[in-house]
Amino acid sequence: MPGKTVIEKIFANHSEEDISPGKIVWIDLDVVTARDFGGPNVVKNFHKNYEGESVFDPSKVFFTFDLTVPPKTIQYANNQMICRKFAKEKGVKVFDIDKGIGTHTLIENGLVQSGSIVVGTDSHMNILGAVNSFGQGMGDVDITFGFRYGRTWFEVPETVKVNIEGNPSYEYSAKDLVIKVLSILRTDKILGKSVEFYGDPIEKLDLPERITFLSMITEMGGIVGFIPFNSNTENEIKKMSGLDNVAPEIKADEDASYFDIIDLDISDIESMVSAPPYPHNGMKVSDLDKVNVDFGFVGSCTNGRIEDILKVWTILKGKRIKEGVQLSIVPATVEVYKQAFEKGILKDLLDAGAIISNPGCGGCAQGHIGMTGKGEVMVSTGNRNFPGKQGDGFNYLTSPEVVAFSVLNGFISDREF
């Protein structure tokens, strides 16, 4: 028997069947969630197919409202009501519109840990790879079945091993790193695969940086990514989750077999942006012609932690963003918002010209704040820049630092001019 990869081990712990790549198996789910998007469809499906039945385990089913919070249209208000009513009937907890992004909220509430399998109506559920858990985004049919039975079918994905090497002199951020890696792997190298990342440039990332990096596996077409813990990771997870004990890290066997092994050298990394219209369209800020910006957005499941907001504060405190440019900051969760409040950085950010909204998914869909008008340019810490994703303009994905410098200078930049 050859050894197993991380995903194969997690599957093996949740299935009675033998696990091998390509095989379709039934697996048990630890947590099943739905958002205010997808959630009402799940409720509708549930009534239609399982009327009068209960959910498989009310303590493992959650709603997480994060997309349109508070609701900006009557339809969204109605949709959220539908979910709340269902939740009450079934004894299911709702993380309501005040809480923030579902995936982050699940981590902060200790509902996810090493080796768990968590599904939800969010294509960035794989963020949970940062805490060594398998998170999988699903559509409403899948989630309805999960609500009822707590299990689902899965084709065991092949695993690709990606070794990241290099000792760049440039002080890069996790966002620079992921855009660099994404621009190399693009959308075909790991499509439908689980990925294990190794190498010092990535293993040294702290937990919020791991969230940033692993959130964009989706944009690479991958299923989920894992990074081996460093000496701090477990403590960081305990701190973020409030758990005194967490399950031991699931590690790949040394003789695990991989679909592909890819070696990447990132020695020439600098500040990166993903130019529209694709996240994999990565380029160095220094290679760009002057691009004037109209909007900055800091937030999203990719860069909405307090560490991200602190980076912006460090650059903007005591200054004022360029006249005519707008900056919105959306904390990922209410916990992040409280941290920002306690650190006393909100006034400096407001003085600099920032708009600070309640926690949630921010401008990543037309559900919250900060759309671009026709032809306007946004610099965003989000994870997608497809046409029409955040308005009618052009969206450059980048780090919190580049957003801060860009709104300060009025053009895309990684230092003050």
Partner 1 sequence: MTDFKIKGKVWLITDNNGELINDIDTDQIFHNAFLHITEISEMGEHTFGNLEGWEDFPEKCNPGDIVFAGSNFGAGSSRQQAVDCFEALGIKAIVSESYGAIYKRNAINSGFPILIFQQINNFVKEGAIKNLDEIEIDFIAGELKNVSSGKIFKIDPFSKVQKDIMEKGSLLTI
Site residues (CB under 8 A) for partner 1? 24, 37-38, 40-41, 44-45, 48-50, 67, 73, 75-76, 79, 121-123, 136-142, 144-145, 153, 155, 187-188, 191-192, 218-219, 221-223, 278, 365-367, 384, 386-389
Q: Which residues pair with 196 in a beta bridge?
A: 161, 226
| Closer residue to partner 1 (CB): 122 or 307 | 122
Q: How far is CA 174 from CA 147, 218, 240, in A?
A: 35, 16, 19
Q: Of 192 and 248, which CB lies nearer to partner 1 in the complex structure?
A: 192
d(CA 332, CA 379): 18
User: Given strand 93-95, what is the order of strands in its sheet?
Assistant: 93-95, 61-64, 31-35, 117-120, 134-137
Minimum distance of partner 1 from residue 126's CB (angstroms)? 10
Nearer of residues 218 and 406 to partner 1, judged by Cβ: 218
Q: How far is the CB of 125 from partner 1 (least distance, A)?
A: 8
State the DSSP string of 345-388.
-HHHHHHHTEEE--SSSGGGSTTSS--B-TT-EEEESSS---TT
Identity of the residue, 188 or 255, whose beta carbon is nearer to partner 1 in the bound complex: 188
Q: What is the nearest approach in angstroms of partner 1 to the Cβ of residue 381?
A: 18
DSSP one-letter string for 153-192:
EEEPPPEEEEEEE---SS---HHHHHHHHHHHHTTTSSTT
CB atoms under 10 Å from CB of 331, counted, come to 29
CB 322 within 8 A of CB 33: no
- For 293, the 3-state DSSP assignment is coil
Those residues whose C-beta lies under 8 Å from the C-beta of residue 108, and which sit 6 or more positions away, are: 240, 241, 242, 333, 335
**Nearest distance from residue 129's CB to partner 1, in Å?**
14
Instruction: Give the pair of three-digit tokens for residue 105.
Output: 């909220």
Q: What angle, rounded to 10 degrees, do the helices at 207-215 and 233-241 form?
A: 90
Q: How far is the CB of 105 from partner 1 (least distance, A)?
A: 17
CB of 47 to partner 1, least distance (A): 11
Residue with smaller CB distance to partner 1, 230 or 366:
366
Q: Which is nearer to partner 1, 201 or 304 (CB)?
A: 304
d(CA 263, CA 379): 30
Smallest gap from residue 265 Cβ to partner 1 (A): 26
Residue 45 or 233 having the CB closest to partner 1: 45
Q: In terms of CB distance, is 341 or 386 closer to partner 1?
A: 386
- Give Cβ neighbours of residue 52 (< 8 Å, ≥ 6 apart): none
Beta carbon of residue 287, minimum distance to partner 1 (angstroms, whole number) = 22
For the chain, how are helix, strand and coil distributed in percent, rounded to 5?
35, 20, 45
In whole angstroms, the minimum distance from the beta carbon of 156 to partner 1 comes to 12
Return the number of the residue (38 or 299) whose C-beta is nearest partner 1: 38
Q: How far apart are CA 56 and CA 216, in angstroms?
A: 31
